[in-house]
Amino acid sequence: MDRERERHVGNRYLIMLLAFAAFFVGCKDEEKALVEKPEEIVEEEVEEITEFGFKLDDYIVKRDTVKAGESFGEILERNNVGYPKIFHIAEKTKEVYNIARFFQKGKPYAILCAKDSIETPKSFIYQPSLEEYVVINFADSIHAYADRKPIKYVEKTVTGVINSSISVTLDEKGVSPVLTNKLADEIYAWTIDFRRLQPGDRFKVIYTDKYIDDSIYTGIHNVKAAYFEHNSEPFYAFRFMTDSVKGIVDYFNEDAKNLRRAFLKAPVKFSRISSRYNLKRRIAVYGFKVRPHKGTDFAAPIGTPIMATANGTVTKSEYRGGNGNYVKIRHNATYETQYLHMRKRKVKVGDFVKQGDVIGWVGMTGNTGGPHVCYRFWVNGKQVDPFKQKLPEAKPISDSLKVKYLDFIAPIKYQLDNLYFKPQIKDEEKPKQPIITQANS
């Protein structure tokens, strides 16, 4: 019995030993398999840098800008191109782009060189503007071509409530000041006096930003539509092309009425009226005698550009007595305008000027107590107050285009109407401590 028990115990130990050995061998095999398994290598894809239609990684790229007095030939000679070849390059390519003639100080250029011991130049690329570039290849045969970088337009929106001025409001929102100029000078110049905006006036704008090569921001391209609420009165503006052949674009309101007028409201930007047209004006210096003022004075710093308020032909450009330097423009058989006390005149008699063209600069010449432009307005040879005249409007939209226009603006107006005003928080209203909110899991 004892011998049988011993044999039974021995068998049990043997089974346990065999099981342990099998487990140990299995672990070794698994460890060996893990060790011997090859690592999976993931190769990162290197993005190719392409510019001007070239893979830049294939070249040594030398970039610089044209220095004062520097010529195309001097740059190539400095980069191991001999003068006979330079002359040949200039002659062969001047019909496409006369680079010797249009080479300008400060403009960027790039030279693409071979990856050899002497870095042999293969191509020269000149950029007359951010968009345009000219490629001159001389690796094998000599040829040149002009092209443009890819342009992308991104539509954006902005809304705001005026506290002090529109320029301050837009600046606080990080929007380019160009938008202020477009609203004040191109769109609402005839309907809203931006020098007299009120706190609480508000606006919505749909505009387009322009990018070159997806990364270079070049500013605001155009304003698609705008809504301005001034003194509780709404002013819509929609950009619409009235002549696709000539590329004529204007801004119209929701009823297809042109926002433009034949005359600008003021000859200078962002100035103030220091003295109005007044036939009964009395001045203390002259013993309070009646001395009629037949113009409207716009106070502005010396050197401020003075603009023609409408298209016309210059009939006077001279210095005379109390007028100082002045310019007079005839717009048609009915209307004339005059601009007094200029520091300097820019136009001469016989010049045709367009609305908004600079004709001179604000000064203090003649009889004046401070820098300003005295703006005078004639109707049928008689000086009148321009702010009391019913001035002609620009050409209205044609009946044939009106239906097309109303269909065109319908979705844009819907988009404008569904933008909500986001007033800028004043510093004193901002919380002193940051408000921390826990994100939902």
Do 254 and 303 fall within a single domain?
Answer: no
Asked if pLDDT for residue 282 goes beyond 60, the answer is: no
Q: Which is it for strands 202-212 and 151-161: parallel, antiparallel or unpaired?
A: antiparallel
- Closest by CA position to 365, among listed 327, 309, 337, 329: 327
Do 94 and 128 fall within a single domain?
Answer: yes
Q: What is the pLDDT of residues 11-41, one digit of tens each?
A: 565 556 555 555 555 555 555 544 555 556 5
Average pLDDT over residues 228-233: 91
Q: What is the pLDDT of residues 355-414, one digit of tens each?
A: 889 999 999 999 888 899 999 999 989 999 988 887 777 777 888 899 999 999 999 999
Do 338 and 372 fall within a single domain?
Answer: yes
Of 148, 174, 192, which marks where a domain is finished? 148
Do 171 and 252 fall within a single domain?
Answer: yes
In the prediction, which pLDDT does 20 show?
55
Average pLDDT over residues 135-161: 90
Do 257 and 398 fall within a single domain?
Answer: yes
Q: How confident is the model at residue 433 (pLDDT cuts 50, 70, 90)?
A: very low
Do 420 and 383 fall within a single domain?
Answer: no
Tokens of 441: 């899991």
Of 148, 163, 185, which marks where a domain is finished? 148
Do 55 and 112 fall within a single domain?
Answer: yes
Q: How many percent of the chain have pLDDT more than 90? A: 42
Q: How confident is the model at residue 276 (pLDDT cuts 50, 70, 90)?
A: confident
Domain contains 124:
yes
Q: What is the pLDDT of residues 401-415, one digit of tens each?
A: 999 999 999 999 999
pTM for the predicted model, two decimal places: 0.59
Do 250 and 398 fall within a single domain?
Answer: yes
Domain contains 432:
no
Asked if pLDDT for residue 269 goes beyond 60, the answer is: yes
- Domain extent, residue 130, equals 50-148
Domain contains 186:
yes
Residue 52 backbone phi and psi in degrees, to 5: 60, 20
Neighbours of 237 (CB within 10 A): 25
In the prediction, which pLDDT does 289 show?
62
* Exposure class string for 329-357: b at 16+ Cβ within 10 A, else e: bebeeebbbbbbbbbebbbeeebebebbb
- Closest by CA position to 146, among listed 126, 163, 165: 126
- Closest by CA position to 72, among listed 47, 55, 91, 53: 91
Do 322 and 406 fall within a single domain?
Answer: no
Do 159 and 204 fall within a single domain?
Answer: yes
Domain count, the chain: 3
Domain contains 2:
no
Q: How many percent of the chain have pLDDT more than 70? A: 82
Q: Which domain CATH number covers 383? A: 2.70.70.10
Q: How confident is the model at residue 434 (pLDDT cuts 50, 70, 90)?
A: very low
Q: Which domain CATH number covers 157? A: 3.10.450.350
Domain contains 174:
yes
Domain contains 283:
yes
Do 295 and 364 fall within a single domain?
Answer: yes
Domain contains 3:
no
Asked if pLDDT for residue 226 goes beyond 60, the answer is: yes
Domain contains 340:
yes
Do 284 and 356 fall within a single domain?
Answer: yes
Of 123, 148, 173, which marks where a domain is finished? 148
Asked if pLDDT for residue 427 goes beyond 50, the answer is: no
Give dist(CA 250, CA 241) in Å, integer: 6
Tokens of 46: 């290197």
